[in-house]
């Protein structure tokens, strides 16, 4: 495990075993690879090495400590910006994968893998030997089914690649979850409805988002351009 390889000593194997045992006892039971790829094949990925932990519970002691370990060695700003690996320069994709296996619903890591897929395209993304983005997302929502942000990220990904009906389904699931502030969900629903040319619904969600003081004005400009604002 990369984040435990520095400064090894004769006692290190025992220390590692004790550390992992203490974390594993608090980890969620399982985060299996579920669902299917866009090609209809069963989703797949590497085996569970550490965790799994719920990102929405990161204020709890066990999750917080696990997150420090994982992010400290596998998900820093360089990884999030798709520049290079956290500790090993050429391990960028391995770091992203490790983070998402340890924290299946790690929002920022999910957003990073979505960005990677949309920037590189399907063919180039496959060459990185990561699991399909849809598999990471299905695993995440299966692991933490009340996580509104993960549903929204799934919707954003489907929206970006032109799967509008499927995107709408995920956005609606996000909207139906309990969340103090749904303005980002409303905004993204508005963008989707605009692109689907369902302008009445788009304006409704735009008004909901801006009533909640959502800062981005792109949705309003799109509606103005279409003569619907």
The residue with greater pLDDT, 2 or 84, is 84
DSSP assignment of 48-96 equals P-S----GGGTTSHHHHHHHHHHHHHH-SHHHHTTSS-SSSTT-HHHHH
Distances (CA, A) of 144 to 26, 68, 124, 141, 167: 16, 20, 29, 5, 19
pLDDT for residue 17 is more than 80:
no
Q: What band does 26 get if pLDDT is binned at 50, 70 and 90? A: low
Q: What band does 7 get if pLDDT is binned at 50, 70 and 90? A: very low
Q: What band does 28 get if pLDDT is binned at 50, 70 and 90? A: low
By the 10 Å C-beta count (0-12 exposed, 13-18 middle, 19+ buried), 134 is classed as buried
Helix 148-160 and helix 133-143, axial crossing angle in degrees, nearest 10: 160
H helices then E strands: how many in the chain? 11, 0
Instruction: State the CB neighbour count (10 A cutoff) for residue 172.
Output: 13
pLDDT for residue 138 is more than 70:
yes
CB 60 within 8 A of CB 46: no
Q: What band does 21 get if pLDDT is binned at 50, 70 and 90? A: very low
Query: How large is the greatest C-alpha to C-alpha distance in the chain, in angstroms?
Result: 71
Angle at 70 between CA 96 and CA 94, to 5 degrees: 25
pLDDT for residue 14 is more than 70:
no
**Where is average pLDDT lowest: 18-32, 139-153, 202-216?**
18-32
Give SS3 for 34: coil
DSSP assignment of 120-152 equals HHHHHHHTTTPPPHHHHHHHHHHH-TT-HHHHH
Per cent of the chain over pLDDT 70 is: 87
């Amino acid at each position: 495990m990369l984040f435990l390889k520095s400064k090894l000593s004769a006692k290190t194997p025992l220390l590692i075993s004790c550390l992992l045992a203490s974390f594993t006892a608090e980890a969620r039971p399982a985060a299996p690879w579920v669902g299917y790829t866009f090609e209809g094949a069963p989703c797949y990925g590497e085996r569970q090495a550490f965790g799994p932990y719920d990102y929405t519970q990161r204020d709890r002691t066990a999750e917080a400590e696990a997150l420090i370990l994982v992010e400290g060695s596998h998900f820093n700003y360089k990884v999030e910006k798709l520049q290079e690996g956290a500790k090993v320069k050429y391990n960028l994709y391995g770091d992203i994968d490790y983070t998402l296996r340890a924290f299946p619903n790690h929002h920022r890591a999910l957003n990073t893998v979505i960005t990677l897929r949309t920037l590189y395209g399907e063919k180039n993304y496959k060459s990185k030997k990561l699991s399909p983005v849809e598999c990471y997302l299905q695993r995440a929502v299966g692991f933490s089914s009340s996580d509104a942000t993960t549903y929204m990220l799934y919707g954003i990904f489907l929206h970006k690649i032109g799967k509008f009906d499927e995107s709408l389904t995920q956005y609606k699931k996000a909207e139906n979850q309990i969340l103090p502030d749904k303005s980002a969900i409303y905004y993204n629903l508005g963008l989707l409805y605009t692109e689907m040319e369902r302008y009445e619904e788009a304006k409704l969600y735009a008004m909901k988002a801006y009533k909640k003081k959502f800062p981005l004005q792109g949705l309003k400009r799109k509606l103005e351009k279409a003569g619907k604002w």
